[in-house]
Amino acid sequence: MAKTKGALIGCGFFAVNQMHGWQDLDGVEIVAICDRDPERLHLVGDQFGVDRRYRSADEMFDDGGFDFVDIATTVGSHRALVELAASHAVPVICQKPFAPALADAKAMVAAAEKAGIALMIHENFRWQTPILAVRAVLDSGVIGEPFWGRVSFRSGFDVFSGQPYLARGKRFIIEDLGIHSLDIARFLFGDASRMTARTRRINPDIAGEDVATMLLDHDNGITSIVDVSYATKLPEEPFPETFVEIDGSRGTLRLGKDYKLTVHGPDGTTRSVVAPNLLPWASRPWHNIQESVALIQKHWVERLAEGREPDTSGRDNLKTFALVEAAYRSAEYGETIAIADLL
Ligand code: NAD
Ligand code: 89V
């Protein structure tokens, strides 16, 4: 069978994981890559044996010859590149954060719909093995109907050495990391209708907020807390683990350090370890995120072949991105924000 051909734009820090993920997938081949920076183009092209290399995305699209494009650039270029893909009717994956602002994200969804192409946001945290394990427990019904939840990511890890742009943005932790945690909250507890948030900047050397505490009212009556911090100095650094607590009508679930999952129900308590697999190209502590990259890319290829909308489609991810926007507004004005007013 002919291989599905992809192209990748943005050969930076994170794209290497995406290239590994594509390389591992049977039936997929990345046939062209693009980066404005010739050094990154050279490094990634040589590492993954891709001969077609472009410094301009326009030129790469003009030459064509691929079935989808994977955008792994930083947020400022996402709208222009998605619109470029739409103008060439090429299905597109775009890294998170979706866009600089909700209006841009809506325009991107509209462009993809008008062109009749699939648009998936690379929102991979819900594809992490421990998060999928939590979802499976909820689906089993063992803890009954959830009524309260917490999604927590607290760390002192130096993310700025690998991703220096994170120290410079006016927005930091909610836009970069909280966006994943908010998507996990939607994945586990359903869509949210109201958001109340508070933020702080503890690290004086960065421009944006590095601590956020968010309270969500979900449509189905669940209340959740999503709390994120890069200013939390713990005796054992948990990066990049997400902790989850859920209380249900029949029991409780706790996902804690080292991927330990405790489920308590009417028939007793089970304790297990739901650690991610360490893929051959992965390295600790990033392996949890790296495996989720491989899984979301597999999902994309499957859905593309079936002609079905991916789980984190642009349309779906507007609801996650609206929570980001709402959190910043709530923190700025000290008010609770109705999500429906944004969508
Ligand atoms: P980076 O700065 O290391 O890499 C971006 C690359 O894109 C650079 O090499 C740059 O030259 C290139 N580029 C930018 N605009 C371009 C354009 N218009 N045309 C061609 N090339 C262009 O950034 P990064 O850390 O790799 O992050 C990239 C994206 O991945 C960001 O949106 C970030 O939030 C996201 N990210 C996601 C995860 C995740 O788990 N989903 C993890 C880390 C980063
Ligand atoms: O996943 C991400 O988006 C990364 C990090 C985990 C460092 O926040 O930017």
DSSP line for 235-290: SS--TTPPEEEEEESS-EEEEEGGGEEEEEETTEEEEEE-PPP--TT--TTTHHHH
Q: What is the mean pLDDT of residues 58-78?
A: 98
| Res 2: pLDDT | 87
Ligand 1 in contact with 122 (CB < 6 A)?
yes
Q: Are residues 180 and 256 in the same domain?
A: yes
> Does 147 sit in the ligand 1 pocket, CB within 6 Å?
no
pLDDT grade for 91, boundaries at 50, 70 and 90: very high
Whether the CB of 15 sits within 6 Å of ligand 1 = yes
- Ligand 2 atom with the shortest distance to the CA of 239: 6
Residues 259 and 138 in one domain: yes
- Whether this model's ipTM surpasses 0.95 comes out as yes
Q: Could you tell me the CATH number of the domain that includes residue 102?
A: 3.40.50.720
Same domain membership, residue 262 and residue 186? yes
Strands 28-34, 4-9: pairing kind: parallel
Confidence of residue 195 (pLDDT cuts 50, 70, 90): very high
Q: Identify the domain boundary among 91, 117, 143.
A: 117
Answer yes or no: is 62 within a domain.
Answer: yes
C-beta 10 within 6 A of ligand 1: yes
Point out the ligand 1 atom lying closest to the alpha carbon of residue 122. 41
Give domain status of residue 84, yes or no: yes
CA-proximal residue: ligand 2, atom 2 (nearest)? 177
Which of these, 245, 280, 282, lies nearest to 260 by C-alpha position?
245
Rounded to whole angstroms, how far apart are CA atoms 66 and 4?
A: 8
Mean local confidence (pLDDT), 314-328? 98
Q: Are residues 210 and 173 in the same domain?
A: yes
pLDDT for position 320: 98
> 206 and 181 share a domain?
yes
Q: How confident is the model at residue 96 (pLDDT cuts 50, 70, 90)?
A: very high
Which residues are registered as beta bridge partners of 212?
199, 228
Nearest CA to ligand 1 atom 31: 74
Label residue 287 by pLDDT band (50, 70, 90).
very high
* Count of domains forming the chain: 2
At residue 227, what is the residue type? D
Say if residue 57 is in the same domain as residue 27.
yes
Among residues 265, 194, 252, 251, which one has the least CA distance to residue 223? 194
Q: Which of these three, 56, 90, 117, is where a domain ends?
A: 117
Which one of 99, 117, 135 terminates a domain? 117
Task: Say if residue 90 is in the same domain as residue 153.
Answer: no
Residue 246: its pLDDT value, please?
99
By most ligand atoms within 8 Å of CB, the mutation choice from 11, 14, 123 for ligand 1 is 14
Question: Which range marks the domain in which residue 275 is found?
Answer: 126-285+320-341
Predicted local confidence at residue 10, as pLDDT = 98
CATH number for the domain harbouring residue 160? 3.30.360.10
The DSSP bridge partners found for residue 341 are: none
According to the model, what pLDDT value does residue 1 have? Answer: 74
328 lies in the same domain as 189: yes
Average pLDDT, the chain: 98
CA–CA gap between residue 297 and residue 83 (Å, rounded): 21
Indicate if the pLDDT at residue 142 is higher than 90.
yes
